[in-house]
Amino acid sequence: MGGVAKMPAGHCWLLLLGVVLAFGVAASPAQASRANNHYDFFIKETKVTRLCHEKTVLAVNGQFPGPTIYARAGDVVVVNIYNQGNKNITLHWHGVDQPRNPWFDGPEYITQCPIRPGANFTYRIIFSEEEGTLWWHAHSDFDRATVHGAIVIHPKRGSAYPYTKPHKEMPIILGEWWNVDVEQLLEATKRTGSDVNISDANTINGQPGDLFPCSKNGTFRMPVEHGKTYLLRIINAGLTNEMFFGVAGHRLTVVGTDGRYLKPFTVDHIMISPGQTMNALLEADRATDGSANSRYYMAARTFATNPQLRVNNSTATAILEYTDAPPSAGPPDLPSLPAVDDIAAATAYTVELRSLVTKEHPVDVPTHVDEHMLVTIAVNLLPCGANETCEGPRGNRLAASLNNVSFVAPSVDVLDAYYYSIRGVYEPDFPNKPPFFFNFTDSLPLELSFTKRGTKVKVVEYGAIVEVVFQDTGILGAESHPMHLHGFSFYVVGRGFGIFDNNTDPATYNLVDPPYQNTVSVPRAGWAAIRFRAANPGVWFMHCHFDRHMVWGMDTVFIVKNGKTPEAQMMPRPSTMPKC
């Protein structure tokens, strides 16, 4: 597992030659400095007011959400990070495969040491087949609550959308707001072993909307004109909530997810998990002669599957307004969204996701499997330590696990440890199945809820076909989980409720046009099966995108070995990597 072949001479120059001018709007002074796909991100404390409450947050270039990165498929983008804040930080380019380039993937203590206050670091983002909407976010502590933004990837020059080109497009970023400092939230959780307090509001493009106090003036507004088509690039950047989203008086035609195209389907609302993106076309087809309202709420509300947990059930709003219609005297129309616990509505939406299979956008679903993995997902307990006061169930600490291993981030990043063959940083024996089998979806006695901590990783051969079946469990309450894999998109070949049956459930797989995603929502008390070809050498994080679950240990790492040819081997370590 040691040395890595050196990159062929001149390869860096070839990659740099691939940097071309991205399509996008001209940068204003408030946006990131951008030229020839180079961006400057200044991360610093910024005062922000929401819900009648001012607090200092980390933000990029003074913006919350942060600036949008524009690129075309196949571009190389360079982002210079200047950490002018007061804490360590890293950034992740969510959904970008970064072929052979794990060095710039971003999760702290997995592929890099964090960027220290006062330091700077330059990321090189290598786009390959991605096309559509992805996003970037901090991958350290709870920083991504305010440090995040959209990535817009247009088709290559000479190529086109597989649908009518929209008149305009708009990132719609769903998130959350806490009146308290999110670092205080995290520190309280670490100190007491308790759950994270629920947010004070959901948000759309950083704003709760005018249903909340002191929020009318900041409410996000999107102007439209009758008869034109708009592309909504919807991102769930939230730390804790899956979300329903809809627009009053308008249906949405969903055409993409996670930087890939879908067979179009039309719905009244979508369900989107943290980490996921959805591209949806909206036809501005409402009457503008004064016979109908000229303003319509976009709305987002929580979808929650564990009735044992408190959730923020409030509705965030933004306003879609027709600029070519007489102003309405009354309030905007409000969409009817499913109830907070409507699993049937979420399931009905998710089963509609199918890849667009065309000559220009083919699928390549693996039909054989080299590595079968059954991975149980659980929220667990750890015993309270000596001289600690713990506020978890029965005085214990809350934890989380995959196959009963609660991941512990090392003090040296896993990628450096692998690259330099440093012993004692991780164990290469993450199990392919849980240590014992039980009725996974039932609740268990509390004494069976305890897990073990460790830094275990899964090592796979280059080119191996890997199938992972995620199985939710009822330990401390069943719930859905958005599982995200770095370095790869994967085919979601199957989903179902109950306990996965290896004898019968594979017969139900979709191997024709399954969605190609980087984040899958594993159903509550159910399972989801993914397949991917391990043709991206390096170190790649896999974790739940509920941030408290990630912090508690619902993670592991895939190490994909080098292949035999130079093009199948990890790039050399950049000399600029931060030190731990």
Q: Please tell me whether residues 439 and 375 are part of one structural domain.
A: yes
Residues 6 or more apart whose Cβ sits within 8 Å of residue 403: 375, 376, 430, 431, 433, 434, 435
The DSSP string of 116-165 is: PTT-EEEEEEE--S--EEEEEEE-STTGGGTSEEEEEEEPPTT---SSPP
Q: Please tell me whether residues 141 and 211 are part of one structural domain.
A: no
d(CA 375, CA 527): 10
Higher pLDDT, 553 or 9: 553
Paired tokens of 383: 């015993």
What pLDDT is recorded for position 533? 98
For 239, 447, 537, 554, the CA distances from 243, given in Å and listed in that order, are: 11, 33, 34, 21
Which residues in 1-84 belong to E strands, given as ranges?
A: 33-35, 38-50, 53-60, 69-72, 76-83
What pLDDT is recorded for position 329? 83
Q: Please tell me whether residues 513 and 382 are part of one structural domain.
A: yes
CATH number, domain containing residue 154: 2.60.40.420
Domain boundary among 159, 180, 213: 159
Scanning the structure block, which residue is given the tokens 């380019």?
A: 93
What pLDDT is recorded for position 77? 98
How many Cβ atoms from other residues are within 10 Å of residue 173's Cβ? 24
What pLDDT is recorded for position 445? 80
How many Cβ atoms from other residues are within 10 Å of residue 560's Cβ? 25
39-43, 187-191, 217-221, 431-435, range with the lowest pLDDT: 187-191
What pLDDT is recorded for position 444? 81
What's the predicted TM-score (pTM) here?
A: 0.93
Domain enclosing residue 322, as ranges: 162-359
Question: Do the beta carbons of residue 309 and residue 477 sit within 8 Å?
Answer: yes
ω into 65 cis (within 30 of 0): yes
- Give 171's DSSP letter: E
Question: Do the beta carbons of residue 138 and residue 148 sit within 8 Å?
Answer: yes
DSSP lists the bridge partners of residue 484 as 519, 543
Q: Please tell me whether residues 416 and 327 are part of one structural domain.
A: no
Check whether 200 has a pLDDT greater than 90.
Answer: yes
How many domains, in total, are found in the chain?
A: 3
The DSSP string of 238-253 is: -SS-EEEEEETTB-EE
Q: Please tell me whether residues 206 and 314 are part of one structural domain.
A: yes
Check whether 7 has a pLDDT greater than 90.
Answer: no
Check whether 23 has a pLDDT greater than 80.
Answer: no
Check whether 31 has a pLDDT greater than 80.
Answer: no
Helix (H, G, I), strand (E, B) or coil at 91: strand
What pLDDT is recorded for position 34? 59
Listed residue (54, 27, 45, 128) closest to 83, CA to CA:
45
β-pairing, 168-177 with 229-236? parallel
Q: How far is CA 502 from its chain centroid?
A: 29
Q: Does residue 497 sit within a domain? A: yes
The DSSP string of 370-438 is: SEEEEEEEEEEEEPPPTT----SGGG-EEEEEETTEEE---SS-HHHHHHTT-TTS-BS---SS-SS--
Mean pLDDT score, 520-536: 98
Q: Does residue 6 sit within a domain? A: no
Q: Please tell me whether residues 151 and 171 are part of one structural domain.
A: no
CB environment 324-340: b (16+ within 10 A), e (fewer): ebeebeeebbbbebbeb
pLDDT grade, residue 36 (50/70/90)? confident
Residues 6 or more apart whose Cβ sits within 8 Å of residue 340: 301, 302, 303, 304, 311, 313
Scanning the structure block, which residue is given the tokens 């196949």?
A: 74
Q: Which conformational region is residue 183 in: left (phi greater than 0), alpha (psi within -120 to 50 degrees), or beta?
A: alpha
Q: Please tell me whether residues 215 and 142 are part of one structural domain.
A: no
Q: Does residue 365 sit within a domain? A: no
Listed residue (382, 157, 354) closest to 264, CA to CA:
354
Q: Does residue 577 sit within a domain? A: no
Question: Do the beta carbons of residue 374 and residue 433 sit within 8 Å?
Answer: yes
Scanning the structure block, which residue is given the tokens 């199990």?
A: 431
Mean pLDDT score, 478-503: 98
What pLDDT is recorded for position 84? 98
What pLDDT is recorded for position 102? 98
What pLDDT is recorded for position 35? 58
pLDDT grade, residue 443 (50/70/90)? confident
> What's the pLDDT tens digit per position in 51-81?
999 999 999 999 999 999 999 999 999 999 9
What percent of the chain clears pLDDT 70, i.e. is strictly above it?
94
Listed residue (382, 425, 399) closest to 557, CA to CA:
425
d(CA 546, CA 172): 20
Q: Does residue 101 sit within a domain? A: yes
Q: Which amino acid is at 124?
A: R
Rg of the chain over CA atoms, in angstroms? Answer: 23
d(CA 114, CA 92): 12
Torsion angle of C-alpha atoms 419, 425, 426, 428, degrees rounded to 10: 50
Scanning the structure block, which residue is given the tokens 């804790």?
A: 240
For 233, 445, 446, the CA distances from 352, given in Å and listed in that order, are: 18, 37, 38
Torsion angle of C-alpha atoms 528, 534, 540, 546, degrees rounded to 10: -10
> What's the pLDDT tens digit per position in 407-427?
999 999 999 999 999 999 999
d(CA 77, CA 95): 14
Question: Do the beta carbons of residue 517 and residue 257 sit within 8 Å?
Answer: yes
Check whether 2 has a pLDDT greater than 60.
Answer: no
d(CA 374, CA 403): 8
Check whether 328 has a pLDDT greater than 90.
Answer: no
Question: Do the beta carbons of residue 330 and residue 290 sit within 8 Å?
Answer: no
Listed residue (164, 236, 226, 170) closest to 202, CA to CA:
236
> What's the pLDDT tens digit per position in 391-404?
999 999 999 999 99
d(CA 458, CA 558): 5
Domain boundary among 137, 159, 181: 159
Q: Please tell me whether residues 435 and 558 are part of one structural domain.
A: yes
> What's the pLDDT tens digit per position in 145-162?
999 999 999 999 999 999
Alpha-helical regions (H) of 170-328: 182-192
Helix (H, G, I), strand (E, B) or coil at 100: coil
Q: Does residue 452 sit within a domain? A: yes
Q: How far is CA 509 from its chain centroid?
A: 24
Q: Please tell me whether residues 187 and 317 are part of one structural domain.
A: yes
> What's the pLDDT tens digit per position in 346-360?
999 999 999 999 999
Q: Please tell me whether residues 194 and 312 are part of one structural domain.
A: yes
Check whether 170 has a pLDDT greater than 80.
Answer: yes
Q: Does residue 109 sit within a domain? A: yes
**Mean model confidence pLDDT for the chain:** 93
Check whether 18 has a pLDDT greater than 70.
Answer: no
How many Cβ atoms from other residues are within 10 Å of residue 289's Cβ? 8
What pLDDT is recorded for position 463? 98
Q: Please tell me whether residues 287 and 263 are part of one structural domain.
A: yes
Q: Does residue 308 sit within a domain? A: yes
Check whether 211 has a pLDDT greater than 90.
Answer: yes
Domain boundary among 103, 126, 159: 159
Q: What is the phi/psi pair of residue 106, to 5°?
A: 115, -30
Mean pLDDT score, 531-540: 98
Q: Please tell me whether residues 378 and 515 are part of one structural domain.
A: yes
